[in-house]
Structure 1
C-alpha cells in the first residue's frame, strides 16, 4: 500500500521525550560511564519499552507478556533461526532476565556487572557468546546498522522521491522518526510499505538523510551540489521529526567549513 502523509504531517506534531541516562557500558575489561547515552541506543530501547513495533509476544516463565519485534531480533541476531531460538529460550526465563537480554538486543544497553553476567549467560545458551561484546553499546549497534544499510534485500519500506525508490528498514524509521512512528501507530491496521516524499527534497539529499539514520553521521565528501544538500538536509530532519540530531549537525558544520575553505584540507 502506498501512503502519502503530507496531511498527516500538518495535523500531527508528535514528540518523543528526550532522555538522558547514566549507563555503565562494558567493553571487555574496561568500564566507562557514558552520560547522554548514544541517541540510537536510547531510541531503540524506547522501541522495546513502548512495545508498539511488535509482532511477537514472549510469555515469560513467571507469566509476563513482552511484545517484541521479529524484525529487530532478526536484524541483531543475524538469522531467523536464532531469532526464534531466542524467543523460545526467553519463554523459559523470568521477566527480569528476559528484559535485560532484550535491552542488549535492541540497543546494546547494559547497566552493570550483574546484568552483564546474566545477559552473557543467555548469549552462551544461544551459542552466540562470542558476539556479546561485538554487539555491546552504541558502537556495536552502529556496526550492525551499517551492515544493514548495505543489505538491500532485508529493507522492507520504500520512500519514493521523484520516481526514485529509496529502500529502508521500517523498524529504523519507527525508532528514529517521530513522524513515521506516529503514522505507523495511527495506521497500524494498514499494510503500509511505501510513501511518496512531498517535501521537495532532491534524491541526493534523501539518500544522504536515510544513510544518516543508520550511521548517526553525515558524510558530504564527494557530494555533488553540496550547497543544495546543506540547505535541504536540516529541513529533512525537521520535516521527519528526527530528535537528537546535534551530533550529526555538528559534524556537518565542520564539513561545510571545509567545503568553503578547501585549502585547510581537514581530516575527520
Structure 2
C-alpha cells in the first residue's frame, strides 16, 4: 500500500502531528486531522502557516475525555460503551474553545450532548 502525503516532498518524519498530553506524546496522522477538523485543515494546508510538527497540548483534558477525542479523531464516532457524564460535558465545554474542537466536522461537542441526552 502506498503512503499518502500532504505533498510530494514530505518525508516519514513529517506525516504525523504531535499532540502532547501531560508528559506523553501522541502521533496523529496529519491526513486524519485534516479530514476531521477545520482547525487542523487550516493549519496544515495554509500557505502562510508553518507546517512543522507543532505540538498541541491537550493536558487540560482528563484521561476519559482524551480517550473520547482520540477515538473520535480516528473513527469519527464516539465509542458505544462509553458513558458520557455531566463532568465530561462540562470539561469539553470549557476546553472546546481553547482547543478549537468546535471546528471539527461533525461537531464533537454536539455528538457528546446527543449521546448524553440519549
Identify whether the pair has TM-score above 0.5, normalized to the shorter chain: yes
Q: CA RMSD in A?
A: 3.6
Does 1:192 find its partner at 2:53? yes
The 2-side partners of 1:210 and 1:235 are apart by 18
**Higher gyration radius (CA):** 1
Cα drift, residue 54 of structure 1: 2.8
Cα drift, residue 242 of structure 1: 0.8
In structure 2, what is the equivalent of residue 178 of structure 1?
Answer: 38
Contact kept? 1:172, 1:213, Cα under 8 Å:
yes
Contact kept? 2:71, 2:79, Cα under 8 Å:
no
Normalising by structure 1, report the TM-score.
Answer: 0.31
In structure 2, what is the equivalent of residue 207 of structure 1?
Answer: 67
Number of aligned residues: 106
Q: Residues 211-262 of structure 1, C-alpha deviation per residue, up to 9 Å, x if partnerless? A: 1122221126255x8332233345656623113338x717x524x246xxxx
The 2-side partners of 1:201 and 1:180 are apart by 18
Cα drift, residue 158 of structure 1: 1.9
In structure 1, what is the equivalent of residue 29 of structure 2?
Answer: 169
Higher helix share: 1
Pairwise mapping of residues 11-22 of structure 1 onto structure 2 (< 5 A)? none
Cα drift, residue 208 of structure 1: 1.0
Unpaired runs of 5+ residues, structure 1, are 1-52, 58-68, 72-154, 259-268
Normalising by structure 2, report the TM-score.
Answer: 0.61
Q: Find the partner of 2:105 among 234, 237, 243.
A: 243
